[in-house]
A and B are shown apart, each in its own frame.
Chain A
Amino acid sequence: MAVAADVAEPMSASGDVPGPAVRSRRLRPWKNPWRRPWILEGFTWLYLVWSILPIVVAVIFSFNAGKSQSVWQGFSTRWYWGNPLTSVFENPQLRQSIIQTFRLSVLTTIIAVPLGVAFAIGINRWRTRTATTFNFVVVFSYVIPELIFAVAMFFLFTQLFTSIHLGTAAEVLGLATWNFSWPAIIVLARLVSIGPSYEEAAADLGASRLQTIFRVLLPLLMPAVFASAVLVFASVVDDFVVVDLLSSTANTQPMSVLIYSSTRGGNSGPALNALATIMLVFSFVVAIFGLVAYRWMTRGERGSSRQEALTTITGM
């Protein structure tokens, strides 16, 4: 009908632009509030490329056949294995740094996570001013610049606790303190979101305090504990300032310090790229493992999703 034809969007047979009456009712494309944000998306992709591409290039250069970090001279795995002086897995100094990084990460995680979890549980329940003060201290330790903290640690081990020499022991103690805030804060947040209801229910059902803790609370906290363990591990793999100031002989130098001192000492080369790639693989493996485990642990929970897992794994 003529009226309906007027209201609908008539296209002339040749597909021309509709007549004036219809054009005024159609929104300008750029005024459509529901249009796709091309600019923003383009910008985001640009950011992602800028963010990720240099790393990819660096990884590729770890397979450079030549000695250069910037000029590609062919593919080779010489920086990984095959040459006792330059290969990461065969040069004792380079290989030792990998072992040291791994050792520091494991030891620090083993110490910091239980300590932080227990602390979080205690602080959450023991509502006194002491508790809030120390909660304050923990957040303070999270936000302080690492250099100032490392300076304090350096002086601690060289002037006061001198029986703990600089080296692996000092590094682990320093790292555990530095990373203590991760499990403390994450588990505390999780405790807050869990609330007291589960424990009260357990108590009503006649469970003793210890039973409640070990059979109700800890299983509920496991995902957060796990996420914080993953974070601590990766944070230690990456850590530089604390270990730089607290390291002593060559065999207590983890990968990060070795890369730094080699670059500063003019000894740069694709071997460092290889070392850094190994660090990257470490971290990624741990992250993926953590992600998968976290998702499996929180399966069926309200609000669990891949997004949720990703943000928790990064501590946000």
Chain B
Amino acid sequence: MSVESRQGRWADRMQGRWVWAGFALPGILWLIFLFIVPFYVVLSIAGGELNAIFQSPEPIWNPLQWTGANFVAVFHDLVGQTAFVGPIFLRTVVYVAVASVLSLLIAYPAAYFVARYAGRRKVLFLVLLIAPFWVSYMMRMLAWIGLLQTSGYINRALLDLGLISQPVNWLGGKPMTIILGLVYGYIPYLILVLYAGLDRIDQRLLEAGRDLGLNRARTFWRVTLPLSRQAILTGMLITALPMVGDYFTNQMLSGAPSTAMIGNVINSQLNTASQQSKGAALSVLLLVVLLVPMLYYVVQTQRASREAY
């Protein structure tokens, strides 16, 4: 080819890079100023001081001058004599773990059925599965508040069936209500991820298993489950991580401090001027704790998309 055309193509390629960079630039700037900088602000507040009149946060912008006062205060809230956040954190872990496992136990069979056995009715099932995804979380909680009230249908049904003798105060601070509320609220995400994952499993792999003499249970255990492991992990992360920051489920379905989660503590701290700095510090700590699962998710999805490249 001629020198001009070679040069032309090189110039073209060089120009190309900057065009694409130009496309990405607005998004990158947006992320810097509205995603990365806010976390720097949180760190500055967590490492900052308190205003003397209001005890409200005074950020310290220079990282070299960050103090540990707020973190020490949060640490004392977590462990030690006057600790009250530590037990709440443990309670959150328990609620989230139970709710996640419960969600998995419910979502997996349903997703499995729709992915593998729904046949001609697959679209119908899919629509029904997806529908709650489009119903707002508030609506889903409201629905249960209506049913769980003292005069609501749940109590009435249980009374009619003779299973209880007095109406149960479901909304009066029961851990089970909160856990089931969390399950109900977040399960649509899990079920969709599981469905997508199970749907992708090649039917021929299962048939191969059958051909090799595996019965149904064995096929599931040794073929389907391992192949859906990725979807399970990703789905659990997508379900469990938001649950950790949840505070409104507890407020709406209980309102009692005995079922408070760590999200409630952070939210209360933000609403109290003298506690905002500690709220920032606690958020930072929570982020650090959740960093590993979050990074795992990010790395996994990057890997998956790279494989698809």
Is chain B in direct contact with chain A in the complex (CB below 8 A)? yes
The answer to whether B298 and A44 touch across the interface, beta carbons within 8 angstroms, is no
Q: Which residues of B contact A244 (CB under 8 A)?
A: 248
Partner of A159, one of B26, B41, B145, B302: B41
A143-B241, A147-B267, A307-B126 are contacts. A134–B24 as well, Cβ < 8 Å? yes
The dominant DSSP class at the B interface is helix
A76 CB-CB contact with B under 8 Å = no
Q: Which residues of B contact A54 (CB under 8 A)?
A: 140, 143-144, 146-147, 184
Partner of A57, one of B12, B147, B238: B147
The answer to whether B136 and A280 touch across the interface, beta carbons within 8 angstroms, is yes
Binds B, one of A9-17, A84-92, A221-229, A268-276: A268-276
The answer to whether A33 and B302 touch across the interface, beta carbons within 8 angstroms, is no
Partner of A43, one of B110, B135, B187, B216: B110
The answer to whether B26 and A115 touch across the interface, beta carbons within 8 angstroms, is yes
In angstroms, Cα B55 to Cα A226, docked, is 48
In angstroms, Cα B156 to Cα A164, docked, is 51
CB distance from A286 to the nearest CB of B (A): 8
The proximity string for B residues 120-155 relative to A, scoring 1 for CB distances below 8 Å and 0 otherwise, is: 001101111111111111111011111101011100
A5 CB-CB contact with B under 8 Å = no
Q: Which residues of A contact B75 (CB under 8 A)?
A: none
A61 CB-CB contact with B under 8 Å = yes
Partner of B106, one of A37, A47, A141, A145: A47
Partner of B135, one of A44, A121, A241, A283: A283
Q: Which residues of B contact A116 (CB under 8 A)?
A: 27
A:137-158 near B, CB below 8 Å: 137-141, 143-149, 151-156
The answer to whether A119 and B113 touch across the interface, beta carbons within 8 angstroms, is no
B251 CB-CB contact with A under 8 Å = yes
In angstroms, Cα B84 to Cα A40, docked, is 44
CB distance from B241 to the nearest CB of A (A): 5
A211 CB-CB contact with B under 8 Å = no
The answer to whether B23 and A118 touch across the interface, beta carbons within 8 angstroms, is yes
A237 CB-CB contact with B under 8 Å = yes
CB distance from B262 to the nearest CB of A (A): 9
The answer to whether B27 and A184 touch across the interface, beta carbons within 8 angstroms, is yes
Q: Which residues of A contact B113 (CB under 8 A)?
A: 37, 40-41, 43-44
The answer to whether B138 and A177 touch across the interface, beta carbons within 8 angstroms, is no
The answer to whether B36 and A70 touch across the interface, beta carbons within 8 angstroms, is no
B245 CB-CB contact with A under 8 Å = yes
B59 CB-CB contact with A under 8 Å = yes
CB distance from B38 to the nearest CB of A (A): 4
Q: Which residues of B contact A160 (CB under 8 A)?
A: 37, 41, 59
B204 CB-CB contact with A under 8 Å = no
The answer to whether A152 and B241 touch across the interface, beta carbons within 8 angstroms, is no
A131 CB-CB contact with B under 8 Å = yes
Most B CB contacts (10 A, CB to CB) among A51, A173, A193, A307 go to A51
Q: Look across to chain B and name the residue whose beta carbon is closest to the beta carbon of A177.
A: B34
Most B CB contacts (10 A, CB to CB) among A126, A279, A283 go to A126
B193 CB-CB contact with A under 8 Å = yes
The answer to whether A268 and B145 touch across the interface, beta carbons within 8 angstroms, is yes
Q: Which residues of A contact B31 (CB under 8 A)?
A: 134, 137-138, 141, 177, 180
A314 CB-CB contact with B under 8 Å = yes
Contact residue range for chain B?
A: 35 or more
In angstroms, Cα B215 to Cα A276, docked, is 47
B:179-205 near A, CB below 8 Å: 184, 187-188, 192-193, 195-196, 199
The answer to whether A151 and B294 touch across the interface, beta carbons within 8 angstroms, is no
Partner of A148, one of B45, B144, B199, B245: B245
Binds A, one of B62-70, B157-165, B283-291: B283-291
A123 CB-CB contact with B under 8 Å = yes
A70-B147, A125-B20 are contacts. A316–B140 as well, Cβ < 8 Å? no
A165 CB-CB contact with B under 8 Å = no
The answer to whether B130 and A310 touch across the interface, beta carbons within 8 angstroms, is yes
In angstroms, Cα B46 to Cα A232, docked, is 32
The proximity string for B residues 31-53 relative to A, scoring 1 for CB distances below 8 Å and 0 otherwise, is: 10011111101101100000000
The answer to whether B134 and A287 touch across the interface, beta carbons within 8 angstroms, is yes
The answer to whether B244 and A40 touch across the interface, beta carbons within 8 angstroms, is no
The answer to whether B144 and A192 touch across the interface, beta carbons within 8 angstroms, is no
Q: Given A160-B37, A263-B252, 20 more contacts at CB 8 Å?
A: A44-B109, A47-B109, A48-B129, A54-B144, A115-B27, A122-B23, A123-B27, A126-B17, A135-B302, A145-B244, A145-B290, A147-B246, A151-B279, A152-B41, A159-B44, A189-B305, A263-B145, A279-B139, A311-B192, A311-B199
Which 10 pairs between the two chains have the least Cβ-Cβ distance? A122-B24, A119-B27, A145-B245, A147-B245, A122-B23, A152-B38, A54-B143, A70-B152, A125-B20, A58-B143
A–B complex contacts, Cβ < 8 Å, 25 sampled:
A33-B216, A40-B117, A51-B128, A51-B132, A55-B132, A55-B143, A68-B151, A70-B149, A122-B25, A123-B27, A137-B36, A143-B241, A145-B245, A147-B245, A148-B287, A173-B34, A184-B27, A209-B15, A244-B248, A263-B252, A276-B138, A307-B199, A310-B130, A311-B126, A311-B199
